[in-house]
A and B are shown apart, each in its own frame.
Chain A
């Protein structure tokens, strides 16, 4: 297992390298660029003069160098966490990200905790009740939750629970009230949670539906195993059979589901942060794409890729530790 973990850690290097290559290539293959941004086809300009200007501009931005040299330059800056300046905010991109990243991480962490803590018992209960009303209705509800588009849910919640349309229960936007600084700690906490309630709900229901369904089917697969019959034949109480034997065996594969949940949650944060005007990475990405703030977009994509692959790495290692049966020999 130690070799597996070391190998997995080594593999992250080419993965991160690949992510940066992909992001860099997208930005370079794209039509247009700094040279023809200001030299449109309009007007009669001396051809030689135009070419000179374009050349000097290419030199200025380092675009006259071969593409691998350009990439190496860019990567060198990225490794030093220097993503350049934001065109819109007139500040270094890394400063923006330092401000925004914690917000998104907290939001997703809360959603993540809720997803796992609600869907585990729900899935187990449904599997135990297999075939009965609770299970059937539950499956249908999970399927519906899974299919609910998050932008619809978010907008409906804003429309009906934050304004004059129906109930004025929650604040419509932002992370805290404007007077939050003057509040004592406990009141501040309540205020924050009050603001976060709807966004976290939006971020977590889809993952909950997906995970609960996986828990359910994993439990059902294990309930059919011989060892369950053995456990029951030994005369163990049903509670012990379910919780000690079946449940423990069926949660191991759930670790890998993180790899499906994480990217979905990244996508969810763009939409949710946009709807609820929460100043996180998602909103930063949204604004950057809207304003074609290239440096920010490249930084956000790179960082999201890095965070995601770190998440996958942790999940894989946790899996290797949790399941001794799996040797992870490379099948050649």
Chain B
């Protein structure tokens, strides 16, 4: 004990703190974390950043707020979910600073369930009280003709669906900072709205694959024996089919939409998680605290997911971070191949596929910018995963 106090600053701080300290030691990790935070912010606030309606406009002497009046129900739900998600993260950060297990299952589940109820209830309120708005006024024309007085537009004053055949396939200019696509829609606006798709694909697909993988892995690892043997053969079977082929096979038979793609990526990529969780459970199931929980007569559900799982969750966390980048990549690849949700959805992969026009002309701005967006996002998640893995790895600490 004395030796430990002398030796290190690590005594007396929580595991969460320790991991965090190791994580922020590398500036690259911090840069990537900040990048993802900004990306999340952009995704949540997309309609406030890129919209054809102004924040404020003076029409006939009266101030109006068309952008806020024109927000759709979905936008409010996204704002709410973003806010609650941020709150959840803060809570998680606070909890992990206590001298307790890294993730306290009961606390986490309670917070998660409270927050999901808040989101669900809030969305219901939104659907009751917010009317869908159908404001088709062209405010820019109003300003140009002098009918309206001064107006403050968003930084990117174009809607992502707004087509303009006159200015199609334009390279970057002062009007369109990143150019326009094949129907004249603003590339930057579509990129901003596309961040919503990429990020939600990442979270939803990985959420599904983590849940399936954890449940399957927990049962296989806990019961072991024949269950494990047969289960692992099944897992190997699913693994034997190359995931991408499995996904495009499904896409050939099932109707294509964004949510479907998320679900398909999720249900085909759980095998890695299952193997990780199984290995952890095989290690942990013989430990004393599991025996104690058993002798207390706790139900199996509690033993598996409240007692064992929090102790073996870290490999899943690391894997989830890498899987997010994988899911974003797969969605982009599918959209690029034209198996995505269709041209109306501003997916980064779909935008990238427009980079070579039907006449074979190479449009560099439609290749460079969407590709860069995919690359940076995938890179940030990969760096984050690597940083998390190093921070969680006790072997590395010894070396330092």
- Chain A residues with CB under 8 Å of chain B are 11, 14-15, 18-19, 22-23, 26-27, 29-31, 140, 143-144, 146-152, 155-156, 158-160, 163, 165, 224, 259, 262-263, 266-267, 270-271, 274, 285-286, 288-290, 292, 294, 297-298, 300-301, 304-305, 308-309, 312, 330-332
B375 interface residue (CB < 8 Å to A): yes
Query: How many angstroms between the C-alpha atoms of A147 and B234 in the bound complex?
Result: 30
Q: Are A151 and B352 in contact (CB under 8 A)?
A: yes
Interface residues of B in 341-400 (CB under 8 A from A): 349, 352-353, 355-356, 362, 364, 367-368, 370-372, 374-375, 378-379, 382-383, 386, 399
The listed residue with most A CB atoms (<10 A of its CB), out of B255, B329, B353, is B329
With contacts A155-B352, A266-B244, A305-B242 known, is A290 near B229, CB below 8 A? no
* B245/A19 in contact, CB under 8 A: no
- Contact among A15, A289, A312 with B252 in the assembled complex (CB-CB below 8 Å): A289
Check A304 against B371 for contact (C-beta < 8 Å): no
Cβ-defined contact, A294 with B253, below 8 A? yes
Closest to A23 in B: B249
Q: Please pick, from B229, B236, B353, B371, the residue contacting A330 in the complex, using a CB distance under 8 A.
A: B229
**Which residues of B lie under 8 Å from residue A143 when comparing CB positions?**
379, 382-383, 386
Q: Is B61 an interface residue (CB 8 A)?
A: no
- Residue of B245, B251, B325, B333 touching A147 (CB-CB under 8 A): B325
Total contacting residues, chain B, CB less than 8 A: 57
The answer on a CB contact under 8 Å between B252 and A288 is yes
- Cβ–Cβ < 8 Å partners of B382 in chain A: 143, 146-147
Question: B161 to nearest A CB, angstroms?
Answer: 24
Check A266–B245 contact: CB distance below 8 A: yes
Question: B65 on the interface (CB 8 Å rule)?
Answer: no
Instruction: Tell me the complex Cα distance, A81–B241, Å.
Output: 18
Query: In the complex, what's the smallest C-beta–C-beta distance from B247 to chain A, in angstroms?
Result: 9
Choice from B248, B337, B364 contacting A165 with Cβ under 8 Å: B364
B28, B243, B253, B378: the one contacting A149 at CB < 8 Å is: B378
A155 touches B237 (CB 8 A): no
Query: Please, which residues of chain B bring their CB within 8 A of the CB of A297?
Result: 248-249, 252-253
Closest to B371 in A: A152
Interface residue from A22, A29, A158 paired with B237 (Cβ < 8 Å):
A22
Q: Is the CB of B374 within 8 A of A152?
A: yes
Inter-chain contacts of B375 with A (CB < 8 A): 147-149, 152
**Nearest neighbor of A151 in chain B, beta-carbon distance:** B336
Kindly provide the distance from the CB of A253 to the nearest chain B CB, expressed in whole angstroms. Answer: 16
8 inter-chain pairs at a CB distance below 8 angstroms, sorted by A residue, are A15-B237, A18-B238, A149-B333, A149-B371, A156-B371, A163-B362, A165-B364, A266-B244
Report how far A26 CA is from B386 CA in the complex, Å. Answer: 35
Q: Which of A11, A156, A289 contacts B251 (CB 8 A)?
A: A289
The answer on a CB contact under 8 Å between A304 and B356 is no
Closest chain B residue, CB of each to CB of A16:
B240
Q: Which A residue's beta carbon lies closest to that of B240?
A: A309
Q: A149-B378, A274-B337, A289-B248 are in contact. Are A159 and B367 (CB under 8 A)?
A: yes
Q: Are the CB atoms of A301 and B245 closer together than 8 Å? A: yes
> Contact: A15 with B243, CB < 8 Å?
no
Q: A156-B367, A224-B399, A304-B242 are in contact. List 12 more A-B contacts (CB 8 A).
A: A23-B241, A26-B253, A147-B375, A147-B378, A152-B371, A155-B356, A262-B242, A271-B336, A274-B337, A285-B245, A298-B249, A305-B245
Chain A residues with CB below 8 A from B237, complex form: 14-15, 18-19, 22
Min CB distance B319 to A, Å, is 13
* Residue in B closest to A148 when the chains form the complex, CB atoms: B375
Q: Report which residue of B225, B330, B356, B372 has the largest number of chain A beta carbons within 10 angstroms of its beta carbon.
A: B356
SS of B interface (majority) = helix
Q: Chain A residue with minimal CB distance to B399?
A: A224
Q: Which residue of B lies closest to A309 (CB)?
A: B240
CB distance from A255 to the nearest CB of B (A): 17
A325 to chain B, nearest CB (A): 19
A156 with B368: CB separation less than 8 A: yes
| Chain A contact residues, majority secondary structure | helix
Residues of A within 8 A of B236 (CB): 11, 15
Residue of B whose beta carbon sits closest to that of A28: B253
**Min CB distance, A272 to chain B, in Å?**
11
Known: A147-B378, A267-B243, A285-B245. A22 touches B371 (CB 8 A): no
B254, A18: Cβ atoms closer than 8 Å: no
Contact of B241 among A152, A270, A305 (CB under 8 A): A305
Q: Are A158 and B241 in contact (CB under 8 A)?
A: no
Pick the contact of A159: B238, B333, B364 (CB < 8 A): B364
Q: Which residues of B contact A224 (CB under 8 A)?
A: 399
Contacts of A332 in B (CB 8 A): 224-226, 228-229
- Find the A residue at minimum CB distance from B366: A155
**Contacts known (A149-B375, A308-B241); A159 close to B355, Cβ less than 8 A:** yes
User: Does B41 lie at the interface of the complex (its beta carbon under 8 Å from any beta carbon of A)?
Assistant: no
B233 within 8 A of A: yes
A259 to B228, CA, bound (A): 21
Q: Is the C-beta of B142 less than 8 angstroms from some C-beta in chain A?
A: no
**Residues A30 and B253 in contact in the complex (CB < 8 Å), given A151-B336, A309-B240:** yes
Residue B246 is within 8 A (CB to CB) of chain A in the complex = yes
Contacting residues, chain A, for B251 (C-beta < 8 A)? 289
Is the pair B355, A155 in contact by a Cβ cutoff of 8 Å? yes
Tell me the smallest distance from the CB of B209 to a CB of chain A, in Å.
15
**Which residues of the other chain, B, contact A308 by a CB distance below 8 angstroms?**
240-242
Q: Known A304-B241, A308-B242, A332-B225; judge A152-B352 contact (CB<8 A).
A: yes
Task: Among B233, B248, B325, find the residue whose CB has the most chain A CB atoms closer than 10 A.
Answer: B248
CB distance from B238 to the nearest CB of A (A): 7
Given the contacts A14-B237, A308-B241, A270 and B337 also touching, CB distance less than 8 Å: yes
Most A Cβ at <10 Å: residue of B229, B242, B367: B242
Contacts of B362 in A (CB 8 A): 158-160, 163, 165
Residues of A close to B37: CB separation below 8 A: none
**Chain B residues with Cβ under 8 A from A147's Cβ?**
325, 375, 378-379, 382
Q: How far is B333's CA from A18's CA once the two chains are assembled, in angstroms?
A: 27
Are A286 and B371 also in contact (CB < 8 A) when A144-B379, A267-B242 are? no
- Say yes or no: A151 contacts B233, CB within 8 Å: no
- Cα A173 to Cα B245 in complex, Å, equals 23
Kindly state the separation between the CA atoms of A298 and B337 in the bound complex, as whole angstroms. 19
